Amino acid sequence: MQIASRAKEYDVCIVGSGAGGGMAAKVLAEGGAEVVLLEAGQWWDAAKDGAMMAWAYDSPRRGAGSRRKPFGEFDGCIGGWDLEGEPYTTAEGQRFLWWRARMLGGRTNHWGRISLRFGPHDFKGRSRDGLGDDWPIGYDDMKPYYDKLDELVGIFGTNEGLENEPDGVFLPPPAPRAYERLVKNASDKLKITCIPSRLSILTRPHNGRPACHYCGQCGRGCKTRSNFSSPSVLLPPALATGKLKIVTGAMAREVLTNDEGRATAVSYVDTATGKTEEVRAKIIVLAASACETARLLLNSKSTRHPDGLANSSGAVGRYLTDTTGTSVQGHIPALEGLPPYNDDGAGGMHVYMPWWLDNRKLDFPRGYHIEPWGGRDMPGYGFMSGIHKLTGGGYGKKLKDDYRRLYGSIVGFSGRGEMLPNRDCYCEIDPNVVDKYGIPVLRFHWKWTDGELNQARHMNETAADVIEAMGGKVVGKLPGKDKDYGLKLGGEIIHEAGTTRMGTSPRTSVLNEWCQAHDCKNLFVADSAPFVSNAHKNMTWTILALSMRTSEHIVEERRKGNL
C-alpha cells in the first residue's frame, strides 16, 4: 500500500483515475508538474487481470453477472449500482441508480468505446431553442482538443460532413457485420441516417499500440491495449515522466481549505487500514465522476465555504442529467439458419444511427441516436433467455432446434437520447446516512418530464419501423405509457453529468470556462460534472477533450506563475 507523504506538497492532486483524471495526469505530468493521483479502487491491469479470450465454460458460473460485476463475471470493470458498504439514498417514492467503478481507470474499463464529439448545436442549445443553457465555450473552442485526442488515442470512423456530428481524425472503420448491413439497408429505405460507428478501437497500429484482433471483447479489458482505457493509454506515458504518483485504495473524504478559502489538501481514507490520510497540493483537480465530485465538494464545508466548497451558487449537485435509454429487440427471419461464421468483430457496433430529425417538428426537445446490436455472440450465461416470449417455449427436440435456428437472428436497437436538466433532478447530502468510511452519502432526486417520455416513445417506434423494414417482428410488445415507454431509470445508462456546471456567472454556475471553480481559484473539475448539457453523444470523448483543455490551461497558468 502506497501512502502519499504528508510532508510533501505536490503541485497537483487529482482525485479519480478515469477518463478525466487519466488525461489530467498525463497532461500535467508531461507539463512538468509533480502529480499525485488518488483512486478509491484497486490497481488493475487488463494484460494481467483481464479475462480476454476466456470461454464461458472456463467458469462454473458461465459468465453470470454478480454484485461486483453486474455485466458478467468476465467484464473488465469492478463496480456496480450496489457497492458493499457504500450506500446512497433516493427521495421518497423516487428512483435513481448510481453506478460507481472502484478500480484504476474507473469507468474507462466499462464503456462501449463509443467516441462521439459534441457538435456545434450541442454547446449552444439555449441559443437554438431557448431551453436549458449554453456552454460558456463552443465547438470551435473544443475542436483542436478533439482533434488532438483523436490522434493521441486512435478512433475509427468516417468523415460524413454532417453539421452536428463533426468530422474527426479517423482510422478506417471495420466492415459491417451481416445484420448491420440489413440495418443499414432498412435505414436507407426509411431515410434514417446510418453511418459507420466511431469507436476508440484501433483498426491500424497506432502510437505503439497494435491493431484490434476482432475478438469483440473490449469490455473485458484488452490485453493488447488496442482500445482506449485510461490505464492502457493515458497512465503509462504519465508514469513514464517520473512525476506521477498513483495511490490506490484512497477514498477521498474532503477537500481541505485554508483561511483564505484556497484548497490546500485532500483528506482520504486508506481503504486498507481505514485510517484517514492527507495529501497536500497547490492545485486540486476533481475527476471522481459527476456525482462523486459533487459529493466531495458538498462534504467539504468550512467557514469560508459553509454550503460546501465552491458552492456559493448553490449549483453543486444540481442540473443532474443522465442519458435517456430504451431498448427494442426484433426477430429477423432472414438471419435464421445462416452458415456458421465469425461475427465477433470489434467490441461494439460497426454502424449506428446519429440523430437525423428536426426537433422543432417533434414533441420532444432534443435528439437521440440508435445503437444496433445482435449477431452470433459467444454463447454464455443468459443465452436466449426468455425464448418463450418468441416461440412459446416448449421443451425437447423442437426447443433444441429452435435455439439453433434463432441463434444470431435477434437484432436489438438501443436508443440513447438527450434530456434537459430540470429542477427535480439533483443530488444532495443525505443528512442521516454515512457510508462505511463515515463519509456522508448522496441522496438523489429524480423525475422525468414529458420530453423524455415522448422521446422514448419515438425511439421505440423508430426501432419497430427498422425491424419491420428488415422483414422482422418486434419481440414482445412495445412498452406503453404505463411503463414509461420502457425508459430506463435515471442513472441506468451511466452518463451522469452537470453537477458542477460551467458558466459565466458565479451566481448560477460552479465553474468558469476553464472548469476552474469561481469560488476557489486553485480547484478544477475534469470529469462530466462541468457539462452544461448532456448531448445524447456518449460523454467520454468530451470528458477527455475538456480535461485536456483544462489541464493544458493549468500548465500554462503555472508557467506564468498565476496558480
Pick out residues in 155-194 that bind another protein (CB under 8 A): 174-178, 181-182, 185
Q: Please tell me the distance from the alpha carbon of residue 444 to that of residue 425, in angstroms, as a whole number.
A: 8
- Helix (H) or strand (E) run with residue 376 in it: none
Asked if 93 and 181 count as a contact pair (C-beta separation under 8 A), the reply is no
User: At its nearest, how many Å lie between another protein and the CB of residue 416?
Assistant: 8
Task: Report CA dihedral (91, 502, 285, 419) to the nearest 10 degrees.
Answer: 40
User: At its nearest, how many Å lie between another protein and the CB of residue 161?
Assistant: 22
Number of shown-chain residues binding another protein (CB under 8 A): 105
The single residue among 403, 433, 505, 507 that binds another protein, judged by CB under 8 A, is 403
The single residue among 215, 309, 420, 555 that binds another protein, judged by CB under 8 A, is 215
**Quick one: 267 or 327, whose CB is closer to another protein?**
327
User: At its nearest, how many Å lie between another protein and the CB of residue 323?
Assistant: 7
Q: Which stretch binds another protein (CB under 8 A): 125-133, 160-168, 293-301, 379-387?
A: 379-387
- Specify the DSSP class assigned to residue 257: E
User: At its nearest, how many Å lie between another protein and the CB of residue 385?
Assistant: 4
User: At its nearest, how many Å lie between another protein and the CB of residue 403?
Assistant: 6
**Does 556 help bind another protein (rule: CB under 8 A)?**
no
Cell of 316: 453543486
Distances (CA, A) of 201 to 45, 102, 213, 373: 18, 23, 10, 17
Asked if 227 and 221 count as a contact pair (C-beta separation under 8 A), the reply is no
User: At its nearest, how many Å lie between another protein and the CB of residue 30?
Assistant: 24
Written as one string, the DSSP assignment of 281-295 is EEEEEE-S-HHHHHH
**Quick one: 396 or 431, whose CB is closer to another protein?**
396
Cell of 341: 461464421
User: At its nearest, how many Å lie between another protein and the CB of residue 20?
Assistant: 11
- Helix (H) or strand (E) run with residue 188 in it: helix 178-190
Q: Which amino acid is at 554?
A: I
Q: Considering only residues 446-485, where is the footprint of another protein by CB under 8 A?
A: 475-476
**Does 323 help bind another protein (rule: CB under 8 A)?**
yes
Q: Which stretch binds another protein (CB under 8 A): 216-224, 301-309, 434-442, 506-514?
A: 216-224
The single residue among 1, 47, 55, 434 that binds another protein, judged by CB under 8 A, is 55
Q: Considering only residues 219-258, where is the footprint of another protein by CB under 8 A?
A: 219
Q: Please tell me the distance from the alpha carbon of residue 421 to that of residue 418, in angstroms, as a whole number.
A: 10
**Does 67 help bind another protein (rule: CB under 8 A)?**
yes
Cell of 330: 426484433
Q: Please tell me the distance from the alpha carbon of residue 112 to that of residue 25, in angstroms, as a whole number.
A: 23
CA atoms within 13 A on the CB side of 302: 20
**Does 340 help bind another protein (rule: CB under 8 A)?**
yes
The single residue among 141, 278, 343, 484 that binds another protein, judged by CB under 8 A, is 343
Written as one string, the DSSP assignment of 437-499 is TSPEEEEEE----HHHHHHHHHHHHHHHHHHHHTT-EESS----GGGGGGPPPTTTT---B-T
Q: Considering only residues 519-538, where is the footprint of another protein by CB under 8 A?
A: 538
**Does 370 help bind another protein (rule: CB under 8 A)?**
no
Q: Considering only residues 408-437, where is the footprint of another protein by CB under 8 A?
A: 410, 412, 414, 416
Q: Considering only residues 252-311, where is the footprint of another protein by CB under 8 A?
A: none
Task: Give the contacts of 209 (CB within 8 A, at least 6 positions apart).
Answer: 154, 202, 224, 225, 226, 232, 233
The single residue among 399, 464, 469, 474 that binds another protein, judged by CB under 8 A, is 399
Per the listing, cell 451558487 goes with 313
Q: Considering only residues 84-143, where is the footprint of another protein by CB under 8 A?
A: 107-108, 110-112, 114
- β partners of residue 196: 351
Q: Considering only residues 3-32, where is the footprint of another protein by CB under 8 A?
A: 19
The single residue among 11, 122, 292, 371 that binds another protein, judged by CB under 8 A, is 371
Q: What is the Cα Rg of the chain in Å?
A: 23
